Copies of this chain bind each other. A is one copy, B any other.
């Protein structure tokens, strides 16, 4: 029972981001809990097959199965990328496909944001739970300064990988490493999440790389279980790549579209807004300049209501002027950095 030539199965995978306790978290599912009931360390993103006979659009399909898999209603959603490379595509089992070994799977990745920082259920549907993205990309969190794992583990390993190649390739690899991991005076660019993950994958440092290699050789390797904490928690299939794409896209989009407000509740303080931007961008921001910048954009409106729950002086509550989306959807928030290096 081979598939018709030219046909593929489309898998939809969604990066669902929310804020919990001032930390950015993503929705993950344990595929094994859902199907084989075997324990496994590698989680996945909520995902499911696209059914061309019943689903009118990708977005409708994905809203439906995220609700089914995790009991979450999505707010904002946007497409991020379509992955079709052979060898890195999702194994059929991950999607519960009914045609084992039959066709090729193409993943359409989506980014979704859910508002309301307060009462996020810890574990929602069967096996669904919120995980801080820092678990998957520890090197991406620069809020407390340059993460120590970069210089203690990542760069030495990458350097060994670079040195193993012929001189010309080695120099090109070193140049990528320098630029992506802010070496030798290069500045950290928080948007390049995917490129950094791809570099680690290429260098064989991402646990998924070893799995994909052995799979290509015919040995049906299980999803990786152990992993070096500095190199992040691996995920099934190509889900960590999709997550990296989503996080990078969100970090970039923050700056030119008012998407950050899709993660906030109806009202918020400027400090909580700043902590949200910091949690997503992974950089520390300059408090005073952040406030001034936000007020200059006119995207928010003070409510002259104060929240005394914050510990110190009560903070004024603001709301997002959502009505501006119709006329000025093309403004975002700059990142007035703290600590320039």
Within 8 A of B (CB), among A162-211: 172, 175-176, 178-179, 186, 189, 191-192
Within 8 A of B (CB), among A1-54: 3-10, 49-53
Asked if A176 and B6 make an inter-chain contact with CB atoms under 8 angstroms apart, the answer reads no
With an 8 Å Cβ cutoff, the count of chain A residues facing the other chain is 45
Contacts of A191 in B (CB 8 A): 330
Across the interface, A4 reaches (CB within 8 A) one of B4, B56, B82, namely: B4
Asked if A57 and B79 make an inter-chain contact with CB atoms under 8 angstroms apart, the answer reads no
Contacts of A189 in B (CB 8 A): 330
Residue A97 at the chain B interface, CB threshold 8 Å:
yes
Q: Report A189 CB to chain B, min CB distance, Å.
A: 6
Residue A106 at the chain B interface, CB threshold 8 Å:
yes
Asked if A327 and B85 make an inter-chain contact with CB atoms under 8 angstroms apart, the answer reads no
Asked if A82 and B57 make an inter-chain contact with CB atoms under 8 angstroms apart, the answer reads no
| A12 nearest CB neighbor, chain B only | B84
Asked if A84 and B8 make an inter-chain contact with CB atoms under 8 angstroms apart, the answer reads no
Closest 9 A-B residue pairs measured CB to CB?
A52-B104, A179-B327, A7-B7, A175-B326, A82-B82, A56-B86, A8-B52, A58-B84, A57-B85
